[in-house]
A and B are shown apart, each in its own frame.
Chain A
Amino acid sequence: MANTGSETIGAAGDKSKMTLFKDDRAEDFGAIVVSILVIATVMVLTMNKPAAQPAPAAAPAAPAATTVAPATAPMAPAEPAKK
């Protein structure tokens, strides 16, 4: 069995692969390319929209996207599980 990293459990060969790519490595690169396309599309779609308004509870001096909770107790998640 020529292991490419993407076989199903059954028989060897192209039919048993779980990917359309040559192997896992090629699939990884493929995922990176698709991600770039998704990000580019989303950025173009949101390019001309006005900037988001600050949240009501936002701390005035909070640095953008770098705030981390103290290590003493777990914080409530930003979007908790729906009970």
Chain B
Amino acid sequence: MSDTGFFQKLPRALPGLALIIITMVVIRLWVEPWMAHTKVFGMQKPLTDAFHLNYILLGILMGLLYRNVIFGGKIPAIFDDGFKLSRLMIKTGIILLGSLYTVQAIVQLGSMAIFLIGGFVIMTIVMVLWLGTAFGLDRSMIAVMANALSICGVSAAVATSPAVEAKASHVAYAIATILGFGILTMFISPFIGHALGLTDLQYGAWIGTGILNSGQVLAAALAFNPNVAPGTAVSVAEIWNIMRVISIPFAVFAVTIWYWSGKTEDSGGGQKKSLGTLLVEKFPVFVIGFLAVVMLTSMGAFGDVGLKGGPAASDTIKMLRVWMQWIFGFGLVGLGGYISIAELRQAGGTPLKLGLIVGVTKYVLALLVVFAIKDYLVAI
């Protein structure tokens, strides 16, 4: 449960929260409608049609601008605590996304996602361990990079670090590398998806597998199609993403075994934890909340979901989807505020080279695999 420190800090979060909310309100109520009707150089609405700009991308860009341009590289103390609520909003939105699925849909989509995600997680870990060793990187650094690149970026890197004696600099390099690569993929993926004519299902499966960080998967999915409904890109990508997040404890387990099996001398620096403790400590509990909402939806607690061919969505479901869009919008303004260009410059040298090789391989391979199995992907 949330600690008392959270409630003591909450009033201090109000200015930052207000800035995030005002930013998203201005974007959705004024900027987006303006973009949808504007005419530039004779082109009708070029910002939405040619650049695929929507409230999600604009929100992230505004967060990025706040931190790196308007506030000179650092969120001011008065707004800082408000921006720290961004991940809470994203996790809340993901839990509410459970109202898009039924148990049957989760089983159908999830069983396919398990094979694809499982295969890619294993392939990425093996590739990083092999390449990292070939490049002569520190063993702790390789272990952190392996899970950072294979699962969900920041959480996986941090979850792995205590088990493999990683130093703060190892975690920093890994996070900077994956965030830098992830930001690039977050912005280019919607363009590639539209250019290739991918369906929401194909696009969701691709980015849910190929993009490294959970927040960036969400952003890239909503940037492709801002609608939140069964069958849209975000509904597919998040199932893939949740399957990947669930695999964190198992990947930490596997990489830890690799680390200690080849360890020949004590290097100090990190704290050891038993593997059982890691499995219990690192399970992402918000996934249980997501599954609980799926169960409630399947039992009809919120009325009809509005799947294609079925009854229209209930008022409760419709309103939940509107709220989800706003919650994700707020969360992603905050996410943009956490992208620091200065911190990304920490990445460099061999870890960056390793990250780019593996990241690009995974990103491209995921697209090829999705194309290869597109006839077997199940729509919900």
Whether chains A and B associate is: yes
Interface of A (DSSP majority class): loop
Cα–Cα distance between A80 and B193 once the two chains are bound (Å): 13
Instruction: Say yes or no: A72-B375 contact (C-beta < 8 A), given A33-B2, A38-B323, A52-B304.
Output: yes
> B289 to A35, Cβ gap below 8 A?
yes
Find chain B residues with CB under 8 A from A24 CB: 155, 284
Find chain B residues with CB under 8 A from A9 CB: 172, 175-176, 179, 340, 343-344, 346
Partner of A59, one of B155, B309, B380: B309
Q: For chain A, give the interface size range.
A: 35 or more
Cα–Cα distance between A34 and B202 once the two chains are bound (Å): 31
Instruction: Say yes or no: A64-B304 contact (C-beta < 8 A), given A58-B311, A74-B199.
Output: yes
Residue of B nearest to A57 (CB): B309
Cα–Cα distance between A20 and B16 once the two chains are bound (Å): 12
Find chain A residues with CB under 8 A from B167 CB: 1
Find chain B residues with CB under 8 A from A81 CB: 194, 200, 203, 224-225, 227, 232-233
Cα–Cα distance between A70 and B379 once the two chains are bound (Å): 8
Cα–Cα distance between A19 and B179 once the two chains are bound (Å): 17
Find chain B residues with CB under 8 A from A82 CB: 48, 225-226
Distance in Å: Cβ of B46 to nearest Cβ of chain A: 14
Interface of B (DSSP majority class): helix
- Most B-side CB within 10 Å, residue of A10, A55, A65: A65
> A17 to B102, Cβ gap below 8 A?
no
Over the window 56-83 of chain A, the binary record of Cβ atoms lying under 8 Å from chain B Cβ atoms (1 yes, 0 no) is 0111001111111101111111111111
Partner of B225, one of A39, A66, A74, A80: A80
In this complex, how many residues of chain B approach chain A with their Cβ under 8 Å: the count is 95
> A21 to B2, Cβ gap below 8 A?
yes
> A42 to B319, Cβ gap below 8 A?
yes
Find chain B residues with CB under 8 A from A83 CB: 49, 194
Over the window 87-113 of chain B, the binary record of Cβ atoms lying under 8 Å from chain A Cβ atoms (1 yes, 0 no) is 110011011100000101100100000
Distance in Å: Cβ of B228 to nearest Cβ of chain A: 9
Cα–Cα distance between A70 and B220 once the two chains are bound (Å): 27
Distance in Å: Cβ of B47 to nearest Cβ of chain A: 13
Partner of B88, one of A31, A58, A66: A31
Find chain A residues with CB under 8 A from B281 CB: 25
> A68 to B85, Cβ gap below 8 A?
no
Cα–Cα distance between A79 and B200 once the two chains are bound (Å): 9
> B304 to A20, Cβ gap below 8 A?
no
* Residues 13-61 of A at the B interface (beta carbon under 8 Å): 17-22, 24-35, 38-39, 42-43, 45-46, 49, 51-55, 57-59
Residue of A nearest to B284 (CB): A28
Residue of B nearest to A81 (CB): B225
- B118 in the interface, Cβ–Cβ < 8 Å? no
Find chain B residues with CB under 8 A from A78 CB: 229-232, 306-308
Find chain A residues with CB under 8 A from B302 CB: 39, 43
- B27 in the interface, Cβ–Cβ < 8 Å? no
Residue of A nearest to B343 (CB): A9
> A68 to B285, Cβ gap below 8 A?
no
Residue of A nearest to B101 (CB): A65
Partner of B6, one of A21, A28, A55, A63: A21
Find chain B residues with CB under 8 A from A79 CB: 225, 227, 229, 231-232
> A34 to B92, Cβ gap below 8 A?
yes
> B311 to A64, Cβ gap below 8 A?
yes
Find chain A residues with CB under 8 A from B13 CB: 20
Residue of A nearest to B1 (CB): A29
> B231 to A77, Cβ gap below 8 A?
yes
Find chain B residues with CB under 8 A from A27 CB: 2, 87-88, 91, 286
Find chain B residues with CB under 8 A from A7 CB: 158, 171
Shortest Cβ-Cβ A-B pairs, 6 listed: A31-B91, A75-B379, A1-B168, A81-B225, A77-B231, A28-B285
Which B residues contact A (CB, under 8 angstroms)? 1-3, 5-6, 9-10, 13, 48-49, 81, 84-88, 91-92, 94-96, 102, 104-105, 108, 155, 158-159, 161-162, 167-168, 171-172, 175-176, 179, 194, 199-203, 224-227, 229-233, 281-282, 284-286, 288-289, 293, 297-298, 300, 302-316, 318-320, 323, 327, 338, 340, 343-344, 346, 374-380
Q: List 10 A-B contacts (CB under 8 A).
A: A18-B87, A20-B10, A35-B96, A43-B302, A52-B304, A59-B309, A65-B310, A67-B307, A67-B309, A80-B199
